[in-house]
Chain A
Amino acid sequence: MSSIAKPLVTHPGARTNALGLKLRDYEGSMSTLCAGCGHDSVTAALIQAAWELAIPPEMAAKMSGIGCSAKTTAYFMKQSHGFNSVHGRMPSVTTGAAAANRSLVCIGVSGDGDSLSIGLGQLCHAIRRNVNMLYVIDNNGVYGLTKGQFSASADVGSKSKKGEANLQGPIDPVLLGLTLGATFVARSFSGDKQQLVPILKAGILHRGLALIDVISPCVTFNDHEGSTKSYAYTRTHEREAVATDFVPLRHEIVVAPSEARLFEVPMHDGSVVRLRPTDAGYDPTDRATAYAHVRACQGRGEVATGLLYVDEASSQEMCDGLTLPAAPLHDTPFELLCPGSQALDALMERYR
């Protein structure tokens, strides 16, 4: 809301993270999105997650394409580099950046327009490559910035603001991710920060592409009666399949009283993600279960949320597959890149 100015003074009691930075240090510019936009809540959750994880600001790379979602990269982590590229093509830019410098913490923010129509191909191939990045899709079922056309995630029968019904089947990024072999697939809701923050943290730490579909209602073009991505509809039809807790390094793991089976997923930095399925039979480490569950929910008009599927142990991210060194490629001394005059001379013998 650009009408509200940010306070200039930080409360002296404001908490600091492991880097000595305050939550404010992870904020960005004032949002110019509509008042009540779901994306602003997603942004707030990202700020919270990045602060709690103590991501060094200069190591983050905020990547986006075009759309209302893409604008949000300016609204968090103002001390980090951002790349607002072209429509639907953020994955390729991120892939190149990750190859050049694998220590960057790549945070990609996209929308259902940017990722499921023009960007569908690049999304699929980034998943296949398992680019090490957080991939957030702010999903509102419409093209907001161009004023209300249906997007590819719009459900059959859902109505546009003008009352027109959508006839084409939706592309569900969660089902897409599961089909393509993504090693981290989640769905959440902009209105549920408690659910979203731990998922974002787990996603940032995940080695590989962490796909998070966030239902993020568009108050201006898709929040009316007849929309299946409105605040009202999402609140009444959301069904959390698995609850996520994030246990960072320094905290003791306290086992809750016995309920459904608890899944513990160790992350590479030593922290642990705890998953508690709502249904006893749900297994977030089994791809087929996750897929079937989401399909079943879809059939009932329900929105399955949570960290629905994760494979942390065997996920090999792109840079491991490329056998890249730990240090960024751009840091490699020239002497190690250029074979030199003697090698060239010897090479010439092969072309006689």
Chain B
Amino acid sequence: MSGINDFAFKIGTVNGSGSASANGLLMQAIFRMGIPVTGKNVFPSNIQGLPTWYEIRVNGEGWTARPSALDLVVALNPATYAQDVAAVRPGGYLLYDSSWPLDPTLVREGVTILGVPFGAMCIEAFQGDRERTLMRNIVYAGTLAALLKIDMEVVAGMLDEKFARKKRLLDANHQAIRMGYDFARTHFDCPLPFHLEKLDKTGGHVLMDGNTACALGAVYAGATVGAWYPITPSTSLMEAFTAFCREFRVDQATGEHRYAILQAEDELSAAGMVIGAGWAGARAFTNTSGPGISLMQEFIGLAYYTEIPSVFFDIQRCGPSTGMPTRTQQGDLLMLAYASHGDTRHPLLFPANPAECFEMSVLAFDIAERFQTPVFLASDLDIGMNDWMMPRLAWDDNWRPDRGKVLDAEALDALPKFSRYLDTDGDGIAARTLPGVGAKGAYFVRGSGHDKHAAYTEDADAYREVVDRLKRKIDGAADAVPRPVIDRQDGATIGLVTIGGCDAAVREAVSVLRGRGMAVSLMRVRGFPFHADVAAFLAEHEQLLVIEQNRDAQLRSLLAIELGLARDRMTPVLDYGGLPLTAAFVIEAASRVAVEVAA
């Protein structure tokens, strides 16, 4: 049901044509009008010339999951006309470039067609292919401003900010936006039935993507070494980290860099660099996606067994294999939990939005050093690469990093002898030493069988003593990783369980279901190993639905493996085509289950 401050539209263009700028402008303008807004980029795995869409949803109540119905589609790519017009809801609108004759594909009963000669206007007003192509995007932005009642003063202000030092571009942009706006005002009944009215819901908020937030967290956590290999959708994380380091980590007096960014020749090398740096005492990380983690598995096992702190950001995308690099999924859960051969198990953190990306990024470094082990933050493409509305980040200046048990020269001197893998206080965590600090602390790191003195061993008991301690050590991480977020409804027998990027859609679905009189509780898992609260929630509900974005119900499998719960106690709700989850999908699945329960 669309209306004031409650509608969704998408723009279909060709990638590499400069539409990202215009789309960002629209979204930011709406945000500055005080109205909650989301923008989702649906782009191809390609540099230039293939279809790309930008979906914007406006919702005064703050529901930001991907919409399932579109009120308006801007169809600027003839190659996708058919699917673009099919995506408009009955009674909706389609905007097209009327410089060329109307393509019959665009005609559909119940859909109002609006034509604006974007191309022709740009050919007349601007010079050169490049400028005309770029400005066309700004012209449609102007048209949308008129149709949706975007505040032109806000838009003008933003253009002034952005092009403050580029007068020629500033003038061109102002001209273009005016053109699109004026044409619409002259030729159409503006605004459309669904449009914007100023609100005050974005105060104290900003727009940021998850990858930038993760990078910022790494900076604030004191990470100094970043090693990486570019891969969609994680690349922007290291790019953001690099930019922040240039700003905050360069010594003003000497020009020295308090950071090292190593672009490795492949992911295996990146993982090796992170581990070497972690061994030598630096907080180090790498950012990658599923295929990269696959490559890194051998090193992950080494870090696990030799107990070296390391942080891995997996910005998940569709697998398997190369998969769909520009589509989202939460499909690496099983791989991350048990990465590498043999008996391994790793702490995982699952943010659902950029605010959690920042907070959990910081936490990941503490957990890695405290537990001396590889730690994984599992984000996804939707969280990582799209801009989300997020409360302004704040920092406690009293916060200090937890570097874990590291013996300095003084502490070493006090010991009669140092042995690397002794569990002196029962928490499974042994004290480590750093190379370069005291010969007494020297020991051999080896991935081969070792005893508690770090000596090579082939002895059954000595081997078991170490691996059993590792198990206890990681079990202890259940209380250190983020606890689940639980929203309990009294008397509910149905419990929804979800993770990561599904969050916004599931919460919206829960709100709708409760509005219809259905009693449901909700738990979002945020960490692994599972906190005791997870098992408790599962035990409390007769009917469990596990909602996730992968084919094989990996979260459900993890819950079954770890908690001993039978798989058929949990009904999977799986959406794994690669696009962000919608509330409608969840509502439909949950309603079906409710009907079955009632029957």
Which of A's residues lie within 8 Å of B, judged by CB?
Answer: 56-59, 61, 73-74, 78-86, 89, 91-101, 103-104, 121-122, 124-125, 129, 319, 322-325, 328-332, 334, 336-341, 343-345, 347-348, 351-352
Are A99 and B272 interface neighbours, CB within 8 A? no
Q: A89-B268, A89-B269 are in contact. Are A323 and B400 (CB under 8 A)?
A: no
Closest CB-CB distance, B435 to chain A, in whole Å?
4
B109 within 8 A of A: no
Contacts of A95 in B (CB 8 A): 262, 269, 272-273, 276
Say yes or no: A341 contacts B262, CB within 8 Å.
no
Inter-chain CA distance A80–B271, complex, in Å, is 24
What separation, in Å, do the CA atoms of A329 and B226 have in the docked complex?
12
Kindly list chain B residues whose C-beta atoms are within 8 Å of the C-beta of A340. Answer: 395, 397
- Would you give the shortest CB distance from B256 to chain A, in whole angstroms? 4
Query: CA–CA, A279 to B319, complex, Å?
Result: 60
Which of A74, A96, A330, A338: most chain B CB closer than 10 A? A96
Please determine whether A330 and B280 come into contact, CB atoms closer than 8 angstroms. Answer: yes
**Of B225, B259, B265, B445, which contacts A83 at CB under 8 A?**
B445
Restricting to B414-431, which residues have a CB under 8 Å from any CB of A? none
A interface, by DSSP: helix, strand, loop or mixed? helix
Judged by a CB distance under 8 angstroms, whether B443 is at the interface is yes
Q: B137-176 vs A: 1/0 string, CB under 8 Å?
A: 0000000000000000000000000000000000000000
- Contact, CB under 8 Å: A96 / B274: yes
In the assembly, what is the distance between CA of A81 and CA of B407, in Å? Answer: 14
- Which one, A57, A99, A323, contacts B277 given CB within 8 A? A99
Return B200 CB to nearest CB of chain A, in Å: 14
B228 to A: closest C-beta gap in Å:
12
Which 7 pairs across A and B sit closest by C-beta, in order of nearness?
A: A92-B272, A96-B276, A330-B281, A96-B273, A100-B282, A93-B276, A96-B277
Pick from B28, B219, B260: contact of A329, CB below 8 A: B260
Closest CB in chain B relative to A43 CB, distance in Å: 15
How many Å lie between the Cα of A323 and that of B257 in the bound state?
6
Cβ–Cβ contact B302 & A328, under 8 A? no
> For the complex, what is the distance from the CA of A252 to the CA of B76, rounded to whole Å?
80
**Given contacts A334-B400, A339-B220, are A58 and B438 in contact (CB under 8 A)?**
yes
Residue B561 interfacial (CB < 8 Å)? no
Residues of B within 8 A of A (CB-CB), count: 73
A96 touches B258 (CB 8 A): no
Q: Which of B274, B436, B448 has the most CB of A within 10 A?
A: B436
Note all chain B residues with C-beta closer than 8 A to A125.
264-265, 269
Q: How far is the CB of A64 from chain B (nearest CB, A)?
A: 10
Within 8 Å by CB of B442, from A57, A122, A331, lies A57
Most buried by B among A86, A93, A122: A93
Complex interface: chain B residues within 8 A of A129 (CB) = 262
- Assuming the contacts A334-B400, A344-B220, A351-B207, asked whether A78 and B273 have C-beta atoms less than 8 A apart, the reply is no
| Complex Cα–Cα for A322 and B224 (A) | 12
Q: Is the CB of B281 within 8 A of A337?
A: no
Whole-angstrom distance between the alpha carbons of A211 and B249 in the complex?
A: 33
Interfacial chain B residues near A351, Cβ < 8 Å: 206-208
User: Do residues A332 and B258 form an inter-chain contact, with CB atoms below 8 A?
Assistant: yes
Residues of chain B contacted by A336 (CB below 8 angstroms) = 249, 251, 258
Interface residue from A99, A331, A339, A348 paired with B225 (Cβ < 8 Å) = A99
In Å, the complex CA distance between A341 and B444 comes to: 41
| Most chain A CB within a 10 A radius of its CB, from B264, B266, B272, B282 | B272
Q: Once the chains bind, are B220 and A338 in contact (CB under 8 Å)?
A: yes
10 A-B pairs whose Cβ atoms sit less than 8 Å apart in the complex: A81-B435, A83-B445, A91-B272, A95-B276, A97-B280, A99-B282, A325-B251, A329-B282, A337-B258, A352-B28
State whether the Cβ of B570 lies closer than 8 Å to any Cβ in chain A: no
User: Which of chain B's residues have a CB closer than 8 A to the CB of A347?
Assistant: 216
Which among B32, B262, B395, B456 is the interface contact of A96 at CB below 8 angstroms? Answer: B262
Contacts of A334 in B (CB 8 A): 222, 400-401
Q: List, in ascending order, chain B residues with CB within 8 A of A344's CB.
A: 216, 220, 393-395
Choose one: A85, A103, A319, A330; the contact of B224 (CB below 8 Å): A330
Tell which of A61, A79, A86, A124 touches B298, judged by Cβ atoms closer than 8 Å. A86
On B, residues with C-beta under 8 Å from A are: 28, 31-32, 206-208, 216, 219-222, 224-225, 227, 248-249, 251, 254-262, 264-266, 268-282, 284, 298-299, 302, 392-397, 399-401, 433-439, 441-448, 456
CB nearest neighbor in B for A87: B298
Chain B proximity of A109: nearest CB distance (Å)? 13
Per the bound structure, the CA–CA distance linking A351 and B446 in Å amounts to 46
**Which residues of chain A come closer than 8 Å to B443, judged between CB atoms?**
81-82
Contact A101–B281 (Cβ < 8 Å): yes
Complex-state Cα separation, A348 to B271, whole angstroms: 32
User: Which partner residue on chain B sits nearest A323 by CB separation?
Assistant: B257
Residues of A within 8 A of B434 (CB): 101, 330
In-complex Cβ contact of A121 among B219, B265, B392, B441 (8 A): B265
B contact residues around A121 at 8 Å (CB): 265-266, 269
- CB of A93 within 8 A of CB of B394, answer no
Q: Which of A93, A325, A328 is in CB contact (< 8 Å) with B436?
A: A328
In the assembled complex, how far is the CB of residue B158 from the closest CB belonging to chain A, in whole angstroms? Answer: 10
Complex partner residue of B439 from A80, A323, A352, CB under 8 angstroms:
A80
Chain B CB within 10 Å — which of A56, A92, A121, A338 has the most? A92
Q: How many Å from the CB of B281 to the closest CB on chain A?
A: 3
Please state if A93 and B273 are interface contacts (CB–CB under 8 Å). Answer: yes
User: How far, in whole Å, are A341 and B392 apart by their CA atoms in the complex?
Assistant: 11
Residues of B within 8 A of A103 (CB): 436
- List the A side residues contacting B261 at CB < 8 Å: 322
CB pair A330–B282 under 8 Å, yes or no, is: yes
In the complex, A336 Cα to B248 Cα: how many Å?
Answer: 9
Most buried by A among B207, B258, B278: B258
Q: Which residue of the partner chain, among B221, B272, B442, B448, contacts A79 with CB atoms under 8 Å?
A: B442
- A101 to B438 CA separation, bound complex (whole angstroms): 14
In the complex, what's the smallest C-beta–C-beta distance from A151 to chain B, in angstroms? 20
Chain B residues contacting A348 (CB-CB under 8 Å) are 206, 392-393
Beyond A92-B268, A122-B265, A329-B260, whether A100 also contacts B447 by CB under 8 A is no
Contacts A81-B435, A348-B393: A86 and B447 contacting too (C-beta < 8 A)? yes
Given contacts A322-B260, A339-B219, contact A85 B272 (CB under 8 A): yes
Q: Are B439 and A57 in contact, with the CB atoms below 8 A? A: yes
In angstroms, Cα B440 to Cα A57, docked, is 10
* Cα–Cα distance between A121 and B298 once the two chains are bound (Å): 16
Cα distance A57–B442 when bound, in Å? 9
Min CB distance, A213 to chain B, in Å? 22
A121, B270: Cα distance in complex, Å:
13
B406 to chain A, nearest CB (A): 10
Q: State the CA gap A122–B270 with chains docked (Å).
A: 11
Choice from A94, A122, A338 contacting B222 with Cβ under 8 Å? A338
A93 x B265 contact (CB < 8 A): no
Q: How far is the CA of A91 from the CA of B221 in the complex (A)?
A: 27
Write the nearest CB–CB distance from B450 to chain A, whole angstroms: 10
Q: B271: nearest residue on chain A (CB-CB)? A: A92
State whether B280 touches A322 (Cβ < 8 A).
no
Q: Name the A residues within 8 Å of B441 (CB-CB).
A: 58, 81
Given known contacts A325-B256, A338-B222, is B447 in contact with A99 (CB within 8 Å)?
Answer: no
B contact residues around A104 at 8 Å (CB): 280, 435-436
Contact B220 A82 (CB under 8 A): no
**Cβ distance B379 to chain A, nearest Cβ, rounded Å:** 18
Report yes or no: B257 in contact with A328, Cβ–Cβ below 8 A.
Answer: no
Chain B, residue nearest A341 (CB): B395
**With contacts A121-B266, A329-B259, A338-B222 known, is A352 near B32, CB below 8 A?**
yes
Q: Which chain A residue has the least Cβ–Cβ distance from B227?
A: A96
Are the CB atoms of B276 and A94 closer together than 8 Å?
yes
Cβ-neighbour of A58 out of B220, B439, B444 (below 8 A): B439
Per a CB cutoff under 8 Å, which of A92, A101, A323 touches B435? A101
Give A79 to B444 CA distance when docked, in angstroms: 10
Do A93 and B258 touch (CB < 8 A)? no
Q: Which residues of A contact B277 (CB under 8 A)?
A: 96-97, 99-100
Contacts A81-B442, A104-B435, A329-B225; A96 near B272 (Cβ below 8 A): yes
